[in-house]
Chains A and B, each alone.
Chain A
Amino acid sequence: MMGARNDYLPQIAEIVSITQETPGERAVKTFRVAFKDKGAKMEWRAGQTCMVSVFGKGESMFAISSSPTKGYIEFSVQRMGRVTEKLHTMQVGDEIGIRGPYGNGFPVEEWKGKNIYFIAGGVGMAPVRAVMNYVVDNRKDYGELHLIYGARSSLDLSYKAEIDALERGGAIDVRRTIDIEEPGWVPVDNKNPEQAKFDPATRKFTGFVATIVTAMRCDPENALAVICGPPIMIKTCIASLAKLGWKDEQIYTTLENKMKCGIGKCGRCNIGGVYVCTDGPVFTYAQVKKMLPDQ
């Protein structure tokens, strides 16, 4: 039979729980899965990805949204296309396929001793959740922790109970923000974030994520930032951090592109000569800047 390991062969996994994170047409659900083969094991680093098979529909690449410290595998998936629409109709006990993990993951070892700002927008919270939980579970190795998490409305924020619990436990300073004002969510002027009065007691804002980054005056001293979310959010947050004196090397983000193989062969996820599937998805902004403007 074949000599080399067959990287295209998925392991069958059963959906063991489903959490409806957000409602609506573009809902996000978190699927916890367990391999059918009890001997099957997967070791991964926060930030790595898996190719998920919905048999008959195809495969899609998702970030693993659970931390390796938790001992379970979860994917948080937004209902978007053919594979994810089918996935969203699936029930506990249904079977999917998983191959991976792929990609580099976050360099959490290098981050020891640093203050970390986790900055996420929408379903971009999925990889951030994985690395944030990893860091919280190794709390003593890291400095101050902050989460700035934005979504369109309060209903569009995922992992509510989990993040509330982390906040209550004092492990991490959490700021949430939404686009359209709701009662109890304090508006911040998106046009003049520098002038904004930032009340440390305020936890819920109305304003862009980048606005909160500026208003909070995130401190670059012995710190790093992890930014995941829609391209426009990443761009504006990086601009906010740059104005606050952050260096490109201190800013981490994850990139995504259409993928088919996950192992650097199918030729479509490249940005210039960089393959997001194998070289990424985690890059520093310094690395992103060096890439050809091919995105």
Chain B
Amino acid sequence: MSNGILRKDKVAEALGALGKESAVYAPVKNKRGIVEYRELGRTASAKDVRLEGKPDAPPKAIIFPQTEVLLTYQRKEGKFEVTPAKPDEREKIIFGVRPCDAIGIAVMDKVFCGGKFTDAYYKARRDKITIFGIACDGPADSYCFCPSTGGAPAATEGSDVMMYDVGDSYYVEAITEKGEKALEPLRNELGKPTADQERRKEEIVKRSGSGEGFSRRIPAEAIAKMDSSFASPYWDEVARRCLSCGACTYYCPTCHCFDINDERGGERVRTWDSCQFAVFTMHTSGHNPRMVRGQKLRNRYYHKFKYSKDNIGRYLCVGCGRCIALCPASLDITKAISEVK
């Protein structure tokens, strides 16, 4: 696989070159100071891109939009006609994705394209998306705990191209065939790495493997203990503070639960939903199998660490820590799982 050096002062130019063939999304600081992914040339420009640190929101909405028309239905002379919505088939690059978020995308791929059914809308969009990951060197901030969930600061899983911060430049490396192809427009932008840059990159990879420097963690024993804690009153205790606002699910790179509704004007629309909302599981009869906060929060934690492990072979948590950073009630998933009784 090819590699090269991209000088930090040449990033905007490189984004411009990539943008000639693909729509490019990258982390940008918005007016309220929130760093989120924006499409360059549309709602942000290459000079606003901010590659330091972990964006406040994951790139989830690009692979799985918050609202999406699935189909339209029209009544013509008393007869219905159903037309599937055309998926957005543009080639897209998501640039500067942190390893936790890239793994999040790999996990979403398993959810939507694995098992007995493939989600056609997700797949059509996803097939056209290339991920430019960017390695962390240790925790990006105090909320990070990726080594506890099978990740690492410089993990390449989910990325097609990987970038390493080696001082005044990024060491850029193709990880997949898709990434190899995506680097073609950058042939003139990428320099040859020096021995020092090679060494620096290797050091990042080495430190990443050690998993050191993280103040938050979830011990494997605690996750194992969940097997016998389902009926424990502990979950009600933990959830006492929960406001059921759903912020944790909206900002989670892997929370994928959705609703489907018919809207006025003949559109059937899929929207993000949250297992923390009151009517999420409510039957038409009024019966609700997960009615109280303890049941709802417990479902989220068990889905993340137990059910998904059984069903798709991995945790539905990537250790990004956004749910901790953003919870208005200061709920901490690492603490909640670690102290399971």
Q: Which residues of B contact A5 (CB under 8 A)?
A: 118, 120
> A278 near B116 (CB under 8 angstroms)?
yes
Is A6 at the interface (CB under 8 A from chain B)?
Answer: yes
Is B115 at the interface (CB under 8 A from chain A)?
Answer: yes
Question: Could you show 5 A-B contacts with beta carbons less than 8 Å apart?
Answer: A4-B118, A256-B283, A265-B117, A268-B281, A275-B311
> A264 near B117 (CB under 8 angstroms)?
yes
> A3 near B120 (CB under 8 angstroms)?
yes
Interface string of A1-36 (1 = CB under 8 A from B): 111111111101000000000000000000000001
Interface string of B283-298 (1 = CB under 8 A from A): 1110101100001000
> A261 near B258 (CB under 8 angstroms)?
yes
List CB contacts (< 8 Å) of B283-326 with chain A. Answer: 283-285, 287, 289-290, 295, 299, 302-303, 306-307, 310-311
> B310 near A294 (CB under 8 angstroms)?
no
List CB contacts (< 8 Å) of A30-70 with chain B. Answer: 36, 53, 55-60
- Measured CB to CB, the closest approach of chain A to B340, in angstroms, equals 15
> B116 near A80 (CB under 8 angstroms)?
no
Is A161 at the interface (CB under 8 A from chain B)?
Answer: no
Is B38 at the interface (CB under 8 A from chain A)?
Answer: no
Q: How far is the CA of A84 from the CA of B299 in the complex (A)?
A: 29
- Measured CB to CB, the closest approach of chain A to B118, in angstroms, equals 4
Q: How far is the CA of A294 from the CA of B283 in the complex (A)?
A: 14
Which of A12, A58, A256, A268 has a CB less than 8 Å from the CB of B261?
A58
Which residue of chain A has the shortest Cβ distance to B283 in the bound complex? A258
Which of B84, B118, B258, B283 has a CB less than 8 Å from the CB of A266?
B258
List CB contacts (< 8 Å) of B262-281 with chain A. Answer: 262, 264, 266, 268, 273, 275, 280-281
Which of A6, A10, A264, A271 has a CB less than 8 Å from the CB of B289?
A271
Is A81 at the interface (CB under 8 A from chain B)?
Answer: yes
| A-B pairs, 7 with minimum CB distance | A267-B257, A273-B307, A81-B284, A263-B117, A4-B120, A4-B118, A6-B120
> A55 near B80 (CB under 8 angstroms)?
yes
Interface residues of chain B, those whose CB is within 8 Å of chain A, are 70-71, 73, 75, 79-82, 84, 86-87, 111-113, 115-121, 123-124, 127, 230-231, 256-262, 264, 266, 268, 273, 275, 280-285, 287, 289-290, 295, 299, 302-303, 306-307, 310-311
Q: Which residues of B contact A292 (CB under 8 A)?
A: 230, 302
> A293 near B230 (CB under 8 angstroms)?
yes
Which of A3, A4, A9, A256 has a CB less than 8 Å from the CB of B82?
A9
Which residue of chain A has the shortest Cβ distance to B80 in the bound complex? A95
Q: Which residues of A contact B124 (CB under 8 A)?
A: 1-4
- Measured CB to CB, the closest approach of chain B to A69, in angstroms, equals 25
Q: How far is the CA of A271 from the CA of B306 in the complex (A)?
A: 12
Q: How far is the CA of A55 from the CA of B290 in the complex (A)?
A: 29
Max count, chain B CB within 10 A of own CB: residue among A81, A231, A272: A272
Which of B70, B111, B117, B259 has a CB less than 8 Å from the CB of A278?
B117
> A263 near B257 (CB under 8 angstroms)?
no
Q: How far is the CA of A140 from the CA of B250 in the complex (A)?
A: 56
> A56 near B262 (CB under 8 angstroms)?
yes
> A272 near B302 (CB under 8 angstroms)?
yes
Given contacts A2-B123, A258-B283, contact A266 B260 (CB under 8 A): yes
Is A280 at the interface (CB under 8 A from chain B)?
Answer: no
List CB contacts (< 8 Å) of A77-120 with chain B. Answer: 80-81, 84, 95, 97
List CB contacts (< 8 Å) of A247-295 with chain B. Answer: 256-258, 260-261, 263-268, 270-273, 275, 278, 292-295
Interface residues of chain A, those whose CB is within 8 Å of chain B, are 1-10, 12, 36, 53, 55-60, 80-81, 84, 95, 97, 231, 256-258, 260-261, 263-268, 270-273, 275, 278, 292-295
Known: A2-B124, A265-B117. 17 other contacts (CB 8 A): A2-B121, A2-B123, A4-B118, A5-B118, A5-B120, A7-B119, A53-B73, A56-B266, A97-B73, A256-B283, A258-B281, A261-B260, A263-B117, A264-B117, A270-B307, A272-B307, A275-B311
Max count, chain B CB within 10 A of own CB: residue among A84, A273, A275: A273
Q: How far is the CA of A228 from the CA of B329 in the complex (A)?
A: 42
Q: Which residues of B contact A36 (CB under 8 A)?
A: 79
Q: How far is the CA of A260 from the CA of B272 in the complex (A)?
A: 12
> B289 near A294 (CB under 8 angstroms)?
yes
Q: How far is the CA of A231 from the CA of B117 in the complex (A)?
A: 29
Q: How far is the CA of A10 from the CA of B299 in the complex (A)?
A: 31
Q: How far is the CA of A97 from the CA of B80 in the complex (A)?
A: 9
Q: How far is the CA of A270 from the CA of B304 in the complex (A)?
A: 13
- Measured CB to CB, the closest approach of chain B to A76, in angstroms, equals 15
- Measured CB to CB, the closest approach of chain B to A137, in angstroms, equals 28
Q: How far is the CA of A278 from the CA of B118 in the complex (A)?
A: 13
Given contacts A267-B275, A271-B289, contact A55 B262 (CB under 8 A): yes
> A270 near B303 (CB under 8 angstroms)?
yes
Q: Which residues of A contact B117 (CB under 8 A)?
A: 7, 263-265, 278
> A12 near B120 (CB under 8 angstroms)?
no
Given contacts A270-B303, A293-B230, contact A12 B82 (CB under 8 A): yes
> A8 near B70 (CB under 8 angstroms)?
yes
Q: How far is the CA of A267 from the CA of B254 in the complex (A)?
A: 12
Q: How far is the CA of A268 from the CA of B258 in the complex (A)?
A: 9
Which residue of chain A has the shortest Cβ distance to B285 in the bound complex? A80
> B260 near A59 (CB under 8 angstroms)?
yes
Which residue of chain A has the shortest Cβ distance to B114 in the bound complex? A264
> A267 near B289 (CB under 8 angstroms)?
no
Q: Which residues of B contact A97 (CB under 8 A)?
A: 73, 80, 82
Q: How far is the CA of A72 from the CA of B206 in the complex (A)?
A: 64
Q: Which residues of A contact B268 (CB under 8 A)?
A: 8
Which residue of chain B has the shortest Cβ distance to A83 in the bound complex? B284
Which residue of chain A has the shortest Cβ distance to B71 in the bound complex? A9
Q: Which residues of A contact B295 (CB under 8 A)?
A: 294
> A266 near B284 (CB under 8 angstroms)?
no
Max count, chain B CB within 10 A of own CB: residue among A56, A57, A257: A56
